[in-house]
């Protein structure tokens, strides 16, 4: 089985940095994804981690610790358009589908 936990809501200020945490439990780990989803739209891919460490991509970075079952998404220089839901999703060994956490709704305020 699998389970993913992440905070339901977060608020941060424009220009600041925010870290969204995700913990997971799975019987066979094969990668951790982060997606961004604006209301009423499809999720868009942000990052994929399968090895421990930090992956940086512009203003967004994602970190993974497989031994701790832990990941975070770091958003720098926040912009108003970053207000969205951020979905942590896992891929199990031998499985085809992603399993999603509840998503974290981030609100960026001026």
Partner 1 sequence: GAVVSQHPSWVICKSGTSVKIECRSLDFQATTMFWYRQFPKQSLMLMATSNEGSKATYEQGVEKDKFLINHASLTLSTLTVTSAHPEDSSFYICSARDPSQGAIGYTFGSGTRLTVV
Phi, psi of 37 (to 5 degrees): -135, 115
The answer to whether the CB of 8 falls within 8 A of the CB of 105 is: yes
Select from 21-29, 52-60, 67-75, 98-106 the region that touches partner 1 (CB under 8 A): 98-106
38 versus 59: smaller Cβ distance to partner 1: 38
8 versus 13: smaller Cβ distance to partner 1: 8
Tokens 């019987």 locate to 27
β partners of residue 75: 18, 60
Residues in contact with partner 1 by CB under 8 A are 30-31, 33, 40-45, 48, 50, 85, 87, 91, 96-103, 105
């Amino acid at each position: 089985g699998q389970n993913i936990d992440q905070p339901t809501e977060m608020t941060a200020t424009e220009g600041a940095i925010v870290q969204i945490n995700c913990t997971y439990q799975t019987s066979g780990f094969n990668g951790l994804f982060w997606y961004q989803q604006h209301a009423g739209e499809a999720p868009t891919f942000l990052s994929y981690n399968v090895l421990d460490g930090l992956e940086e991509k512009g203003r967004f970075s994602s970190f993974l610790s497989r031994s701790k079952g832990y990941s975070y998404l770091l958003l720098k220089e926040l912009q108003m358009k970053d207000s969205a839901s951020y979905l942590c999703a896992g891929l199990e060994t031998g499985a085809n589908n992603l399993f999603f956490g509840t998503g974290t709704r981030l609100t960026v305020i001026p």
